[in-house]
Copies of this chain bind each other. A is one copy, B any other.
Amino acid sequence: MKTLLVLLFLICVPATSHARERVEKYGVHEIVLQGKDAGNPFIDLELSATFTKGADSFSPEGFYDGKGTYRIRFMPPSTGEWRWVTRSNHPELDGKKGSVLAVESANKGPVRVANVHHFAHADGTRFYPFGTTIYEWAFQPEDKKLQTLATLRASAFNKARMLAVPPYKPNYLSGPGKLTEFPFVGTSRADFDFSRFNPVYFQNLERDVKRLSDLGIQVDLILFRPYDKGQWGFDTTSDAVNQRFIRYMVARFAAYQGIWWSLANENSYIKHLSDEDFDRYFQIVQKYDPYGHLRSIHNADRIYDYNKPWVTHVSLQYYNAVKVFGVSPLLRDIFRKPIVHDEINYEGNSASRWGQLSGEELTRRFWIALLGGAYATHGEILDNGWIGGGGFLAGTSPERIAFLRKIVESGPPEGLRPIDQLFVMNAAGKAGEYYLYYFGDERPREWPFVLPVGELKKGMRFKVDLIDTWNMTVEPVPGSFEIGELTRYRAADKNLRVLALPGKPYMALRIQRIGAMPQGESAPQPGAAADD
């Protein structure tokens, strides 16, 4: 009889049938089984385990990890004893049983859609994505990876877009950046065996995903990508290979609480995959991921229909949508899902015009996205090439994005919502309680205290902060404001008070009701420092 090993993730603990295994709630519990290495266990294998606790049941698929080792991973979504039994077409893997005790932890669990257009962890903690883009960081030498992790640790970014498969580039073929491991067995187009995954490659990728996750960074993991230049063939694999790849990725990664599935980057540039192919691929992810991690796809010149039921949120590349006010509210209304502008051009000095933004302009676009009740993702391509391999940040926007994050996280917990969106394009918050006005590159000298009338009542009092979004200052405006008579659309200060503004660009106003501090849920979230 084979030895049955039950492991806490990455910690080998030999077990007997009597030992009481423990795993953190939302942690990764791993069943390790030894089996045969014959045949092709990437193709022929059927392996899963059903974890049961009372009426709850999850059946993650297992996967072959090479050298006769098979693994099944489980993320317990609640505390208590989970009993499991395996099922396999390999007799030596079938019918194994055990149990694991899930215990309380500080884990917040996977991020879900909350309040239609926003996000929260499974434990209810709100999550406001302020992402960045490091497509190829996992394919860099270890010293650069460590630099990337140190940079992220010091940043405010809490989501990272990264490729699961490297793009074809000459620097990966020779020299210090030469890649030795690939998703498939083999090292070049000539000898890639698309019927066999390379476990070492995925073990490395897992380690990097886990390292991001340990920093509290959500990993927006991109399954398919173009960028193959006809060289390796990773973007022209057959439908059968693609389906196996998806199931293998899901089996390996779904138990990580911080995973988001990005079906593709710039999907339309993968010429041989249609939207209908991605329909099926989405549904495979949906079927095999027991935890329902977020699912989206990132467009190039053909926008996938985000209304399809298996898409959880919009992951858009459409620069116009954040250059001007008013577009994100429209996207919210069209899709009724969270809108994440996952590429809004990059701060940079690239020869390519998508990477030529000033820090001021990238910051402005972030504010416009947030004022539209949406989210945005950072990228930088100064001489460092951050969006490719990571490393260090040299731009001026990350600090301002961190400042914006503080503003947002100390605002209404349910997230910013456009206020009177069809007639007032630069206001968001929570009507009656909290208003954020942003003036972009306009340089107003004054602002009459006039709010859209919704939820307001005569006599309500407000305090105002003048925010310099570029210099990152928050300056309380002396005194308070009191709502006077309401008109059909507007409510002004009873004394028609007008605020003086400094005539500088990138200013904002934060207007908060006095004595209306929302209860409970609206207290600052863990990790969300107030900005004043």
Name the segment of A7-15, A30-38, A200-208, A325-333 touching the other chain. Answer: A325-333
Chain B residues with Cβ under 8 A from A334's Cβ? 303, 305, 334
Chain B CB within 8 A of A447 CB: no
User: How far does the Cβ of A339 sit from chain B's closest Cβ, in whole Å?
Assistant: 12
Chain B residues with Cβ under 8 A from A325's Cβ? 320, 324
Chain B CB within 8 A of A392 CB: no
Chain B residue at smallest Cβ distance from A316 = B330
- Asked if A318 meets B333 with Cβ closer than 8 Å, knowing A323-B425, A324-B326, A353-B423, the reply is yes
Chain B residue at smallest Cβ distance from A488 = B351
Chain B residue at smallest Cβ distance from A308 = B307
Say which residue of B307, B323, B351 sits within 8 Å of A326 (CB atoms).
B323
Which residues from 301 to 323 on chain A have a C-beta closer than 8 Å to any C-beta of chain B?
Answer: 301-303, 305, 307, 318-321, 323
Chain B residue at smallest Cβ distance from A307 = B305
Say which residue of B327, B353, B421, B489 sits within 8 Å of A353 (CB atoms).
B489
- Asked if A319 meets B353 with Cβ closer than 8 Å, knowing A305-B307, A325-B324, the reply is no
Chain B residue at smallest Cβ distance from A351 = B488
Residue contact A425 to B303, C-beta cutoff 8 Å: no
Which residues from 284 to 305 on chain A have a C-beta closer than 8 Å to any C-beta of chain B?
Answer: 301-303, 305
Choose among A422, A423, A488 the residue with the greatest number of B CB atoms under 10 Å from its CB. A422
Chain B residues with Cβ under 8 A from A305's Cβ? 307, 334
Chain B residue at smallest Cβ distance from A333 = B303
Chain B residues with Cβ under 8 A from A425's Cβ? 320, 323
User: How far does the Cβ of A470 sit from chain B's closest Cβ, in whole Å?
Assistant: 23
State the oligomeric state as a number of copies. 2
Chain A 132-166 interface 0/1 with B at a Cβ cutoff of 8 Å (1 = within): 00000000000000000000000000000000000
Residue contact B422 to A318, C-beta cutoff 8 Å: yes
Chain B residues with Cβ under 8 A from A301's Cβ? 333
- Asked if A421 meets B303 with Cβ closer than 8 Å, knowing A327-B327, A330-B327, A489-B353, the reply is no
What's the Cα separation between A370 and B301 when bound, in Å? 21
Chain A 403-436 interface 0/1 with B at a Cβ cutoff of 8 Å (1 = within): 0000000000000000001110100000000000
What's the Cα separation between A421 and B303 when bound, in Å? 14
Chain B residues with Cβ under 8 A from A423's Cβ? 319, 353
Chain B residues with Cβ under 8 A from A330's Cβ? 318, 320-321, 327
Chain B residues with Cβ under 8 A from A321's Cβ? 326-327, 330
User: How far does the Cβ of A274 sit from chain B's closest Cβ, in whole Å?
Assistant: 14
Chain B residues with Cβ under 8 A from A307's Cβ? 305, 307
Residue contact B422 to A320, C-beta cutoff 8 Å: yes
- Asked if A326 meets B320 with Cβ closer than 8 Å, knowing A307-B305, A353-B423, the reply is yes
Residue contact A422 to B489, C-beta cutoff 8 Å: no
Chain A 323-356 interface 0/1 with B at a Cβ cutoff of 8 Å (1 = within): 1111101100110000000000000000101000
User: How far does the Cβ of A302 sit from chain B's closest Cβ, in whole Å?
Assistant: 8
What's the Cα separation between A422 and B300 when bound, in Å? 11
Residue contact B320 to A329, C-beta cutoff 8 Å: yes
What's the Cα separation between A324 and B422 when bound, in Å? 12
Chain B residues with Cβ under 8 A from A323's Cβ? 326, 425
Chain B residues with Cβ under 8 A from A324's Cβ? 324-327
Chain B residues with Cβ under 8 A from A421's Cβ? 320
User: How far does the Cβ of A300 sit from chain B's closest Cβ, in whole Å?
Assistant: 11
What's the Cα separation between A327 and B334 when bound, in Å? 13
What's the Cα separation between A381 and B68 when bound, in Å? 78
User: How far does the Cβ of A436 sit from chain B's closest Cβ, in whole Å?
Assistant: 18
Residue contact B333 to A422, C-beta cutoff 8 Å: no
> Which residues of A are in contact with B by a Cβ distance under 8 Å?
301-303, 305, 307, 318-321, 323-327, 329-330, 333-334, 351, 353, 421-423, 425, 488-489
**Extra contacts besides A320-B326, A334-B334 (9): CB < 8 Å:** A305-B307, A318-B333, A319-B422, A320-B329, A323-B326, A324-B327, A326-B327, A327-B327, A353-B423
A sample of 17 inter-chain contacts (CB < 8 A) reads A301-B333, A303-B333, A303-B334, A305-B334, A318-B330, A318-B333, A319-B422, A320-B329, A320-B425, A321-B326, A321-B327, A323-B425, A324-B325, A324-B327, A327-B330, A334-B334, A351-B488
**Sorted from nearest, which 3 A-B pairs have the closest CB atoms?**
A320-B326, A324-B324, A303-B333
